[in-house]
Structure 1
Amino acid sequence: MDNTKVHPSVIMEKNQKTLKSMHQSRKDSKISPTMKVKEERYLKKLSMISEQEEKWWEVRFLFHPESGARMIWDILILAFIIYQSLSVPYFICFNDIPSDLTNGFEFLMNICFIFDILVTFNTGFYIKGTLVMNRKEIIKDYIKFWLWMDIIASMPYSWFVGSIFGGDSSSNAYNAPKVLRLMRIFRFLKVLRLLRLAKLKKILMKIEDYIASNTLANIFVFGKLLALVFFIAHWTACLWFFIGDQGSDIHPVTWITNINLQNSSVLEKYITSLYWAFTTMSTVGYGDITPFTVTEKIYAMMTMIMASGVFAFTIGSIGALVSKANAVENAYREQAVAVNRYMKRKCLPNDLQFRVRRYLDYVWENKKKNKMDEKQVLILLSEPLRDEIYSHIHGVVIKFCKIFEKFEANFISQLARTLINETFAPGDNIIEEGEMSDKMYFIMTGKVIIYHGFTKSMIQELGEKQHFGEISFFTSNPRCASVKCTDFVDVLGLTRLNFNCLVGKFPEASEILEGLIKNCEKGDFTSLDISCYLCEEIGHYATKCKLLMVNLDQEETRNKWLHERNEQNSKLVNNKDVETPKFNRKIRKIKANPRYCGRNVVGIPRENLLLSQAYPEISETPEPVVMESSTGDSVDCVRNVTVRPIYSELYLNSEESISPRGDAEGKNPREAVFRLSLIKKKLLYDPTPSVRMSKPFSRTSIIH
C-alpha cells in the first residue's frame, strides 16, 4: 500500500471531474435518490478538501519564532543594525566617501533587509502569550506597523542620491560646493535606516531569554551598558564635528579652526571629536577643545546635560551589579561564620566539620546557579504549566523505572508532582539495612553504592536515572541492603503515603498495585522488574542470591558445618569385612639391667637378692643395721632393706616408718640410720647418723 502524501489540489481536481460526470448524468437521465445522496457526500468531501487546502497553505513553510534558524537570522540582522548605527552618522557628518568594498557590503546588507521582510511574513508571533501560526494573522499583524518601518529603513537611499547627481564622484560637478551641500541634505535620508534600532531592543530581549548562567547575564548587561555609552559618544562626536564643519562657512573661528584640524585626515578628525565627547560625558572637559560659536556652546551645554544623565545611569547600573554580587557573597560568608561558630561551640569532630562545610558549599553553589528555588518559580506559573514542567523534569526519571510502565500517562503526570527533592553529601547513608522505611528514591545526579551491611561488601553502583528502595516501598519489609553516597547526590523521594493517596484516585492503578503486592508476598519480585546484581536473574535480589552465601546465624552455621563433616567421615561398613589389625612391631619384653636391679620399679616384681649375689665383685658385705621399729599392722612397713653399691659416697635416706598407733606419749617410733660408703670396692659401715627417716618405706619407693 502506497503511503505517499497527495497534494490537496490533486484530490480536488479528481473530485471536480467526478462532479462534472454527475452533472452530465443528471442531464441525460432522471436523478435517483441514491445519486442525490452520492452528490451530497461528494459536495461535503469537496468542501472539507478545500478547507484542508486552505489550512495547508496557511500553515506550510512557517518559521517558529523560537526556532534556531530564526535565532541565527535575528543575530545576523542585529549585526547589520549595529553597523548601520555607526556607519550612517559617520558618513553623513564627516563627508567621507565610502570605498567599493563598503558599497558592496551595504548592497548585501540592503538585500538582507529586504529578505528579512519576507521572513517576517512567514514567522509566527505571540499574542498575550499565545502562539499564532496562521499566515493570514501574521500578515495582518505585520502590516499594522512594522512593515512600513522596515520598508523605509530598507530603501537604498545611496542609489537614489547617486542617480540624481550622476553617480560619478570624481566629476567636478559632483565636487562643487552647492552640490555637496545638496548631497548632504539628501544623505540625511539615510538616517531613516536607523529606524531599525527600534527592533534592537526586541532582538536583545530574545537573546537574553536564552541566557541561563548568572555570570553570562551579568556580562551581557555590562556589555549593553558599554555599548550604550559608546553609541552615545559616537553620535555626539559625529554631530559635534558636523556643527563645527558647517559653522566654518559662516564663522571665521570654530573649534576646528582653533586647533587647526581642518586639513587633518578624516580618522584624526573622528578621534579628536570622540575624545571631546568622552571627556565631556565623563567630566566637564580638560579645556583643550572649547566651543567658540553660539551653536557650539548650545550643543556643548545640551551634551553636558545629557551626558550627566547617561553617566549617572551607567555608574548606577554598574554599582548595582557589583553590590548585588557582594550581597550574595556577604550572605554566604555570614552563614559560614555562624555555622563554624556553632560547630566549635559544640566541639564537633574535625571530620564532621569538614563534611558540613562541603555540604554547605555544594548547596550554596546550586543556590547561586538557580537564584530562585523551584517552588518560587512554579508559584509564578499556571497549573497546566506546572504539570508540564513536573512531567518533563520528574516524569523522565519515572519513565526509566519499568515498574510504572503499566500505569497510565495521567497517573504518571500526577505522580511526578508528589516527588520531593533531597540532597545528600558524600559518605551519607541514604538507607540502612534492616530499617523500616516507606520511601523509594530516583537518582537525578551523582552516584551511590549498594553494599551489604554486615560484611560491608559492595553489591552494585547506581547512577543517574536509576532507582532504589522499591522492595521495602511495595512490600513494607525491612531494608535488605544499605545505600551510601560516593559524591553529592540529588534524588527524588516518593513516600508510600503520597503514593497511596494518588492510587486511590485511579481505580486501574489500585488494581495494578494489588497485583504487585500479591506477587511480592509470594516471593516473586518479577513484577517489580528486580534483577539480581550478582547473577543478573530476574525475580530475586542480591542478598538472597545463592552466589552470595552469607549466613548471619553463627550457631546455625556451626551445626551445619558439623553435620557436613560427620557425613563425610561416616561410612557404612560390613562387619564381615572388618579384620583385626596386624602389628608389625614386636612386643619387647622388659629386661632389668643387673646393674640397676636394686631399684624398686613399679609393676616389676623382683626377688630380694643379697648384695653379694647382685654384685659378685664385692667380697665383704656388711650386714645392714636396722633399728627396731614398731611396724605393727602397717601395710607400708618394710621388713627387709636391700642395699646396692654406689660408686661414690652415698647417703641413703630411708623413709620414716610411722606406726599408726605410736607411743602413749605421742612420740615417733625409733629411727633406723645407716651410711654406706664404697671405698676401693669395699663397703664401710658408718654408724654416724646422717639422715633421719621421716616417711615409712613403701613397696614403690626407689632407693637412690
Structure 2
Amino acid sequence: MNQRTLEERIIDQYEMSSPFVDDNLNKSNRQPLLLINENSNSYLSNNSLIKSPAFNGTFNSGSIDYGYALLNQFDEGEEIAGNRNGFIVQYSDSTNIFHMFYQRLPVFLPNSIVMLIWKAIIAGIILLYFFVVPITVSYSSGVWIFANKTKMIIDGLCFIFLVLDIILEFLTAFYEHGNLITDKTRIAYKYLSLNFILDLVATLAFGVQSFINDDSINLILLLFFLKYPSLIKIDYLFEEATLLHRTLRTIYNLGKIIVLLQFCFLIFSCIFFVIGYACVQAGHNSWLLNDGNFGVILDLNPGFQFFFSYYFGLGTMTTTMGYGDITPLNVFECLWCLGGIFFAVFIFQVNVNSLFKIMEEFNVHPIKIFKKRIAVNKFMSSKQVPQIVQERVRRYLNEHWYEEGTRDLLLEQEVFTELAPEIKEELFYNSYGKMFNLIPFMSKTFSTEFLRSLSIKIEEISYAQNEIIFLDNVDYLLDDYSIYFIDYGQILIFANTGEQRPFWIKQLGQQEYFGEWSFLTGRPRLASASSISYSRLYKLKREVFMDILGSFQDDFEKYWMIRDKLVYSNGFKIINSLCWNCEQDSHYASKCPVTHYYPQMNKLLKYNIEDEQQRNQYYRKKKQRWHTLKQQISQSQQIESQIQKSQNQEIQVEQIRNQTQQQQQQAQPQKNIKQFDKPYQFKHYFPQYNYHKIQAFKNEKAIKKITNIRISAMYIPNTAYRQTKQSAIFVWPKQS
C-alpha cells in the first residue's frame, strides 16, 4: 500500500454527505462538527480541502445543517463558521504582523471571574457618565468648576478603560446555540457586525468632549448613550452570576430600581432647567427669574442651578406636588410638570410592582417552609404523636430545609424532562457523573459512553444524623446493593456485632465512596454504614447498573473480570480496599489472619500425613505396545541400574562380613601371624602373601552371579519383541 492509497482512504473517511454520520455508529459519537482552527487561515465551501494540523481531508458542506459529524481532534467549543444554507465564511489569507499578533493573544471566557470584575468596572463607568452627560449638556462645563482638575483625570482614565474594553471585546468568547465559540475570527466578525460601531462612536464622542474644553460641542456627548446595548449585555451577565444567590440577587434588583428612579429624576430636572433657560432667552417669565426663598436662581453658579432643579424634580415626581418655593411660571414649564407627574405615576406603579415581586421572591422560600412546618405540626398534633418523636421530626426537617437551601427538587425534575436526551445526558454527566472521576475502578475500567448512560440513573438522597444506611448480617432489611458517593456529610463504617455499641471501623468524609464490594459482586454486605451528621449522598443501584451494562459488550466483559478477581482471587487491590487490621489488600478484615484463626489446611495435611504410602511389594509387569529405540535404551538403563544397586548392596554386606571376621580373628590367640609390608617397605614381599590371593578379599559367588546377569542382559533374542494385536493391548496388573 503506497502513500497515495493512504491519502485517498483518509479523504474518503471524512467525506460527508449528511448532517450525521452512519447510523451504525454509537449515538454518543455524534457531536457538533468542530472544524475551525485558529492556526488555519482559510475555509472554502463545496467539497473544499480542509487542512489543519489535526485534519487533512475534504468536507462536503452542501448538505450540512449547522454541521454535525464525528469529533476528530479539534479544539472543543469551536464549530464551523457557517449558516443553515451551507455557506461557509471565507477568511482572507492575511499574513501581516497585526493578524499574527492577534492570533497569538489569549481568549477570555465571558463568565469568568476576571471578566466579571472588568465588566463591573465598565458598567460603573457607563452608569457614571449616563448621569454626567445630561448635567454637562444642560448646565455647561461650569457645573464641575469646583473639581475641574479631578474631573479631567477621571475623564482620561475612563476613556482609557473604554478603549481597552473595545479591544477586549475582540478577545472575549461568546455562546451561540449553546456552544462556546473561541475562534478569534468569528469573535471579531460578530463584534464588528453588532456593537462595534456603537461602542466606537460613543467612546470617540466621549474622548472628544473630554479633551476639548468647549461648551459648543457638548451636544456630541449625547452619543455616549449608544453604550446602552453594552450596559444591557453586562446586566445580563450579572443576573446570571447572582441567580443562585438569593440575597445578592435581591440587592442587585433593588439597586437597579433605585438607579432607574434617580436617572428619571435627573432627566426631568435637566429638561425643566433647559425649558426655563429657553423661556428666559425668549423674554418670558420663568422659575429661574422668580425671587423666591432662594433668590434669583439664574444668578447663581451652575452647580446651585443643578441642585435646585433636581430638588424640584425630586419633589414633583415623588410627591406629585411642590412646596411652593419653586413653581413653574409659564405654559411650557407647566406642561412639562404635568407630563412629569403623569410619567411619575406610571413609573412608580411599575417600580412598586417590581419591588413587590422582588420581596415576594426573596421571601417565597421562608413562606413555603413555614407552610410545610404548619402542615407537619397539625398532622402530628391530630394523631397524638409522642413529643419525643415530634421533636425528632422537627429537628430533621429544619436541618433538611437548611441544608437544601432554596432548591426545589420537584421543579428540577420537571425542568429536566424538557431537555433533549443528549443535552440531559451531558448535564447529568457533568453534575452527578463527577463522582465517577473520584472512583478509580469506575473511571479507569469503564468507557465514557457507559458512564454517561449511568449518570442519568444516579439518585440523590439525604440522611439525617445517626440514620442507618445499610446493615450487614441482617436479613430483615432489604438491600439493593447500591454504591454510595458522599456529596457532603460524614459516614461511619462499622461492624454489626449485635452489641449496643458498634465496632468502629472507619469514618468517611466528603467525596469518598462506600458499598463497592456488594455493588460489584452481588453478595451480602461485609460491614454496616450510618450517617454521623446530616449527609447528602449520590446513589447508584446495582440493578440499574447491570441493566445498562448489558448494552456495552466491552464494559460487560471488564465487569466480570473484576468480579471474578474479587470473588475467586481476593483481588481487593482493584477497588483500593485494605484490611483495616493489617492494611493488606489480599483479604478483608472479617478474614484477617491477624485477628482470626484460619488454619492452613495444606500445611496441616502435609505435616500429619506421611508422604510414603504402604503398598504391597510385588512385581508389576509392564507390557509394551510397540518397539522403539528409546524403549530399548530405557530397558538397558534400568537393568544396569538394578545391577549397580545389587552390587552396591553385596559390597556393603561383604564389608560388614569382613569386619566381623577380622574382629573374630583378633579375638582368637595370635598364631602364625603373617607380617605384611608397610607402604613403600618390601621386607616381607612374597607372591603368596599378595592381596588377591587372600580368601577374605575374594567373593567368587557374587562375581559369578554378576557376570551371568550381564551376559543375559546383552543377549536378547528377536522373538522376545514379537507381539500380536491381542498382546499389544495394555492390561493393568491385578493388585494383591
Alignment-mate amino acid for residue 243 of structure 1: I
Q: Distance in 1 between matches of 2:578 and 2:174?
A: 51
- Of 298, 313, 319, 1:283 maps to 319
CA 1:223 to 1:550, structure 2 compared with 1: closer, same or farther past 3 Å? farther
Paired residues of 2:209 and 2:221 also in contact (CA < 8 A):
no
Show the counterpart of 2:332.
Answer: 295
Show the counterpart of 1:90.
Answer: 135
Deviation at 1:87, TM superposition (A): 1.0
1:190-212 deviations in whole A, cap 9, x for unaligned? 11112112321111111221222
- Comparing 62-71 and 198-207, the one that deviates more: 62-71
Paired residues of 2:138 and 2:274 also in contact (CA < 8 A):
yes
Deviation at 1:398, TM superposition (A): 1.9
Show the counterpart of 2:120.
Answer: 75
Show the counterpart of 2:108.
Answer: 64
Find the residue that maps to 2:172 and give its secondary structure.
coil
Show the counterpart of 1:31.
Answer: none
- Of 181, 191, 194, 2:222 maps to 191
Alignment-mate amino acid for residue 152 of structure 1: V
Show the counterpart of 2:236.
Answer: 205
Q: Distance in 2 between matches of 1:409 and 1:51?
A: 39
Residue pairs, 1:596-607, within 5 angstroms: none
Q: Distance in 1 between matches of 2:177 and 2:569?
A: 57
Structure 2 unmatched runs, 5+: 1-38, 42-91, 599-736
* Pair 1:510 & 2:536 matched: no
- Of 321, 332, 349, 2:358 maps to 321
Deviation at 1:57, TM superposition (A): 7.4
Q: Distance in 1 between matches of 2:211 and 2:373?
A: 70
- Of 436, 458, 473, 1:434 maps to 473
Q: Distance in 1 between matches of 2:548 and 2:40?
A: 47
Q: Distance in 2 between matches of 1:186 and 1:256?
A: 24
CA 1:452 to 1:51, structure 2 compared with 1: closer, same or farther past 3 Å? farther
CA 1:399 to 1:108, structure 2 compared with 1: closer, same or farther past 3 Å? closer
Find the residue that maps to 2:563 and give its secondary structure.
helix
Deviation at 1:145, TM superposition (A): 4.1
CA 1:461 to 1:349, structure 2 compared with 1: closer, same or farther past 3 Å? farther
Paired residues of 2:209 and 2:220 also in contact (CA < 8 A):
no
* Pair 1:350 & 2:381 matched: no
Q: Distance in 2 between matches of 1:123 and 1:474?
A: 47
CA 1:539 to 1:251, structure 2 compared with 1: closer, same or farther past 3 Å? farther
Paired residues of 2:250 and 2:362 also in contact (CA < 8 A):
no
Show the counterpart of 1:4.
Answer: none
Alignment-mate amino acid for residue 400 of structure 1: L
Residue pairs, 1:158-177, within 5 angstroms: 159=208
1:579-632 deviations in whole A, cap 9, x for unaligned? xxxxxxxxxxxxxxxxxxxxxxxxxxxxxxxxxxxxxxxxxxxxxxxxxxxxxx
Residue pairs, 1:582-601, within 5 angstroms: none
Show the counterpart of 1:408.
Answer: 447
Deviation at 1:249, TM superposition (A): 3.0
1:376-400 deviations in whole A, cap 9, x for unaligned? 3433433333223322222322222
Paired residues of 1:421 and 1:492 also in contact (CA < 8 A):
yes
CA 1:478 to 1:128, structure 2 compared with 1: closer, same or farther past 3 Å? closer
Deviation at 1:284, TM superposition (A): 1.5
Deviation at 1:120, TM superposition (A): 2.3
- Of 336, 346, 349, 1:312 maps to 349
Find the residue that maps to 1:426 and give its secondary structure.
coil
CA 1:138 to 1:300, structure 2 compared with 1: closer, same or farther past 3 Å? same
Q: Distance in 2 between matches of 1:461 and 1:550?
A: 27
Q: Percent identity?
A: 23
Deviation at 1:407, TM superposition (A): 1.6
* TM-score, normalised relative to structure 2: 0.61
Find the residue that maps to 1:535 and give its secondary structure.
coil
Show the counterpart of 2:150.
Answer: 101
Q: Distance in 1 between matches of 2:190 and 2:393?
A: 58
Show the counterpart of 1:520.
Answer: 566
Q: Distance in 2 between matches of 1:324 and 1:110?
A: 39
Q: Distance in 1 between matches of 2:180 and 2:434?
A: 26
Paired residues of 1:281 and 1:311 also in contact (CA < 8 A):
no
Q: Distance in 2 between matches of 1:447 and 1:132?
A: 41
Alignment-mate amino acid for residue 495 of structure 2: H
Show the counterpart of 2:587.
Answer: 540
Q: Distance in 1 between matches of 2:467 and 2:175?
A: 48
Q: Distance in 2 between matches of 1:118 and 1:523?
A: 64
CA 1:127 to 1:331, structure 2 compared with 1: closer, same or farther past 3 Å? closer
Find the residue that maps to 1:534 and give its secondary structure.
coil
CA 1:506 to 1:307, structure 2 compared with 1: closer, same or farther past 3 Å? same
Q: Distance in 1 between matches of 2:540 and 2:158?
A: 58
- Comparing 286-295 and 540-549, the one that deviates more: 540-549
What number of residue pairs does the alignment pair up? 487
Tell me which structure has the larger Cα radius of gyration.
1
- Comparing 341-350 and 296-305, the one that deviates more: 341-350
Show the counterpart of 2:307.
Answer: 271
Alignment-mate amino acid for residue 473 of structure 1: F
- Of 520, 539, 542, 1:496 maps to 542
Alignment-mate amino acid for residue 283 of structure 1: T
Q: Distance in 1 between matches of 2:279 and 2:263?
A: 24
Alignment-mate amino acid for residue 486 of structure 1: I
CA 1:249 to 1:83, structure 2 compared with 1: closer, same or farther past 3 Å? same
Q: Distance in 2 between matches of 1:550 and 1:460?
A: 23
Paired residues of 2:466 and 2:530 also in contact (CA < 8 A):
yes
Paired residues of 1:444 and 1:464 also in contact (CA < 8 A):
yes
CA 1:409 to 1:256, structure 2 compared with 1: closer, same or farther past 3 Å? same
Find the residue that maps to 2:538 and give its secondary structure.
strand
Deviation at 1:500, TM superposition (A): 0.6
1:536-556 deviations in whole A, cap 9, x for unaligned? 2213333333455699xxxxx
Paired residues of 1:445 and 1:490 also in contact (CA < 8 A):
yes
Show the counterpart of 1:254.
Answer: 286
- Of 433, 448, 454, 1:395 maps to 433
Deviation at 1:474, TM superposition (A): 2.7
Paired residues of 1:419 and 1:493 also in contact (CA < 8 A):
yes
Alignment-mate amino acid for residue 432 of structure 1: L
CA 1:192 to 1:336, structure 2 compared with 1: closer, same or farther past 3 Å? same
CA 1:53 to 1:264, structure 2 compared with 1: closer, same or farther past 3 Å? closer
- Of 215, 239, 254, 1:222 maps to 254
Paired residues of 1:441 and 1:491 also in contact (CA < 8 A):
yes
Paired residues of 1:251 and 1:293 also in contact (CA < 8 A):
no
Deviation at 1:523, TM superposition (A): 6.4
Find the residue that maps to 1:255 and give its secondary structure.
coil
CA 1:72 to 1:415, structure 2 compared with 1: closer, same or farther past 3 Å? same
- Comparing 336-345 and 503-512, the one that deviates more: 336-345
1:499-521 deviations in whole A, cap 9, x for unaligned? 11111011122212222332333
CA 1:507 to 1:157, structure 2 compared with 1: closer, same or farther past 3 Å? closer
Q: Distance in 2 between matches of 1:198 and 1:517?
A: 60
Show the counterpart of 2:460.
Answer: 421
Find the residue that maps to 1:196 and give its secondary structure.
helix
- Comparing 350-359 and 216-225, the one that deviates more: 350-359
Find the residue that maps to 1:287 and give its secondary structure.
coil
CA RMSD of aligned residues (A): 3.0
Show the counterpart of 1:635.
Answer: none
CA 1:76 to 1:489, structure 2 compared with 1: closer, same or farther past 3 Å? same
CA 1:62 to 1:452, structure 2 compared with 1: closer, same or farther past 3 Å? closer
Paired residues of 1:387 and 1:417 also in contact (CA < 8 A):
yes
Show the counterpart of 1:444.
Answer: 487
Find the residue that maps to 1:277 and give its secondary structure.
helix
Alignment-mate amino acid for residue 267 of structure 2: W
Show the counterpart of 2:517.
Answer: 471
- Comparing 347-356 and 309-318, the one that deviates more: 347-356
CA 1:536 to 1:352, structure 2 compared with 1: closer, same or farther past 3 Å? farther
- Of 424, 433, 442, 1:386 maps to 424
1:519-571 deviations in whole A, cap 9, x for unaligned? 333361423332122322213333333455699xxxxxxxxxxxxxxxxxxxx
Residue pairs, 1:665-680, within 5 angstroms: none
* TM-score, normalised relative to structure 1: 0.64
